[in-house]
Amino acid sequence: MKNCRELVKLEEEIKKCTKCPLHASRKNAVPGEGNPEAIIMFIGEAPGRNEDLEGRPFVGAAGRLLTNLIENIGLRREDVYITNVVKCRPPNNRDPKPEEIKACSPYLDRQINCIAPRIIVTLGRHSTKYLLEKNGYNFRSILKIHGKIYNIKIGYIDIKLIPTLHPAAALYNPRFVKILEEDFNRIKNEIRKIGKEEEKIGLEKFF
Residues that bind ligand SF4 (CB under 6 A): 14, 17-20, 22-23, 29, 86-88, 100, 103-104
To which H or E segment does residue 190 belong?
Answer: helix 174-200
Longest dimension (CA), the chain: 50
Site string for ligand URA, 17-56 (x = CB under 6 A): ---------------------------xxxxx--x-----
User: Strand order of the sheet with strand 40-44?
Assistant: 33-34, 81-84, 40-44, 119-123, 157-164, 150-154
* Number of shown-chain residues binding ligand URA (CB under 6 A): 12
For residue 138, the SS3 value is coil
Q: Distance between CA 147 and CA 175 in Å, rounded?
A: 15
62 binds, among ligand URA, ligand SF4, none (CB under 5 to 8 A by kind): ligand URA
Which of ligand SF4, ligand URA, none lies near 84, with the C-beta cut-off 5 to 8 A by kind?
Answer: ligand URA
- H or E element: which one contains 64? helix 61-72
Establish if 84 lies at the interface with ligand URA (CB under 6 A). yes
Tell me whether residue 101 or residue 194 sits nearer to ligand SF4 (CB atom).
101
Residues that bind ligand URA (CB under 6 A): 44-48, 51, 57-58, 62-63, 84, 168
